[in-house]
Structure 1
Amino acid sequence: MVQFWYEFASSYSYPAAMRVEEEAEQRGIAIEWRPFLLGPLFKEQQGLSDSPFNEVAVKGRYMWRDLERICASLKIPFSRPMKFPQNGLAAARLALVGLREGWGKDFSRAVFRANFAEGLDIGDPGVLEPIVRACGGDPRSSRMKANSDEIKDKLRGNVDTARARGIFGAPTFVCDDGELFWGNDRLEQALDWACEHEYAGRAAL
């Protein structure tokens, strides 16, 4: 099992979300999708109130060009958002509902496409509710569940767990043994690590 920690505002989480399941399936590894929020961690760990890609202009310019190259190589659509980063709070809560009900992975991928390919505002209920419906959820009941104390606490718990595990960015992949890999370009390494160490653990039994 590998945990896939992602934030809907995170640019590099987009290509990771588009390919993580296929890469994992090739290796026989299960993926646990874990949406969370980076904002609280950026503020606590780095004193940032904005994305580091906005704080450091030259880094931001590189990131957008790099993302263009990555998406072109994966043959997935890309369009730079009008606003970055977007507010992913509502989408993260809905994703938690969907992951419980079986449509969360499709929903998550669709929200990333809305953000980084379609130029839509992923904080707008008018954008999110049609995505919920298209992915097999009920928009009204999902909205009510997403606004419940249970789901709010679940998302806060994800942030707390991310903090405790030393996560500082997204996407991050965490293996069962606690080994942590940060970045879309570390996906294969994380999965290979999980394969090797899961096999080694079984052989030792």
Structure 2
Amino acid sequence: MEKTLDFWFEYASPYSYPAAMRVEQLAAQAGVKVRWRVFLLGAVFQQYGWKTTPNELFPAKGNYMWQDMQRICAALNLPYQKPSTFPRNGMLAARISANHAESPWIGEFVRSVYEANFAEDQDIGSSELIAQILEKLGQDSAQVIAEANSDDGKQKLKQQTQQALQQDVFGAPFIMVGNEPFWGNDRLEQAIYFAAHGKLPATITLA
């Protein structure tokens, strides 16, 4: 029986960046397949009556997050540059990710978009940038973008976001292993271990 995990992510989520950059490699080492599941955090915030992100509602939390991101990325040797604009519009990238969740190139696409946003401070809302990423992956960017922006393409992202809400996904990154939830970049290794072994290790070492 194939061992899998669902990796729920949002392109505007800073903590999803270090998790997305690592999840596929770590999961492969454990014999676990990653299923990429993009969704829109805005729908989650609306559910709680929030009109903006918690980091905007609570400035101290936002300030801490950016300091924490610097530490996390330095520890993981990941390039990092605080985005000059936050949050950026990841709608097109999200639609593409929902429409091509099973495509063999989706992992590399996701990582490239995250790198553009959090390592290179590029505007991931730019269709030109997304087209460049697709072309580098050998894809017909015009066709992929047109499909993503079609009514069917938009509906797939809406359906996937609704699925996230039904599964009580309340933040990103969020990992589901069957019915077992794991929230946050710092729970990534636990989630992968659980997916591989069906249980958590007897002792957990926190780095």
Return the TM-score normalized by structure 1: 0.92
* 1:33 paired residue number: 36
Does the aligned pair in 2 maintain the 1:98–1:107 contact within 8 Å? no
Q: Tell me what 1:201 maps to.
A: none
Cα distance in 1 between the residues matched to 2:43 and 2:101: 23
Does the residue aligned with 1:85 lie in a helix, a strand or coil? Answer: coil
Determine what percentage of the aligned residue pairs are the same residue: 44
Pairwise CA distance, 1:33? 0.5
Specify the alignment match of 2:8 in structure 1.
5
Query: Which amino acid letter does the alignment assign opposite residue 183 of structure 1?
Result: G
CA distance in 1, matches of 2:104, 2:152: 18
Cα deviation, residue 142, structure 1 = 0.7
Q: Distance in 2 between matches of 1:100 and 1:21?
A: 14
Residue number in structure 2 paired with 1:134: 136
Alpha carbons 2:99, 2:156 under 8 Å: kept: no
Specify the alignment match of 2:22 in structure 1. 19
**1:67 equivalent in structure 2:** 69
Q: Is the 8 A contact 1:12 1:171 kept in 2?
A: yes
The aligned residue for residue 56 of structure 2 is 54
SS of structure 2 residue aligned to 1:181: strand
Corresponding residue number in structure 2 for 1:189: 190
Residue in structure 2 matching 1:79, options 62, 76, 81: 81
- For 1:94, what is the secondary structure of its paired residue? helix
Cα distance, 1:193–1:100 mapped onto 2, change above 3 Å = closer
Which letter maps to 2:24? Answer: E
1:85 is aligned with what amino acid?
P
SS of 1:99's equivalent in the other structure is coil
1:144 maps to: 146
Per-residue deviation, residues 100-143 of structure 1 (Å, max 9, x unmatched) = 44221111100000110111111111211101111221111111
* Offset, 1:95: 2.0
Check conservation: 2:24, 2:107, Cα contact below 8 A: no
2-side partners of 1:70 and 1:84: how far apart? Answer: 19
In the alignment, the residues of structure 1 paired with residue 181 and residue 7 of structure 2 have an alpha-carbon distance, to the nearest angstrom, of 10
One-letter amino acid of the counterpart of residue 190, structure 1:
A
Partner of 2:126: 124
**Which whole-Å CA distance do the structure 2 matches of 1:49 and 1:88 have between them?**
17
What is the alpha-carbon distance in structure 1 between the residues aligned to residue 8 and residue 21 of structure 2?
Answer: 14
Say which structure is richer in helix: 1
Runs of 5+ consecutive residues of structure 1 not aligned to the other structure: 199-205
1:104 counterpart = 2:87 = no
- What is the CA distance between 1:96 and its match in structure 2? 2.8
Residue 121 of structure 2 aligns to a residue in which SS?
coil
Aligned residues: 196
CA shift in 2, pair 1:100/1:150, >3 Å: farther
**What CA distance in whole angstroms lies between the structure 2 residues aligned with 1:91 and 1:58?**
29
Write the distance in 2 (CA, Å) between the matches of 1:13 and 1:186: 12
Measured in 2, the distance between the counterparts of 1:138 and 1:21 equals: 24
Name the amino acid aligned to 1:99: A
Contact 1:78 1:117 in 2 (8 A): yes
Correspondences of 1:138-177 after superposition (within 5 Å): 138-176=140-178
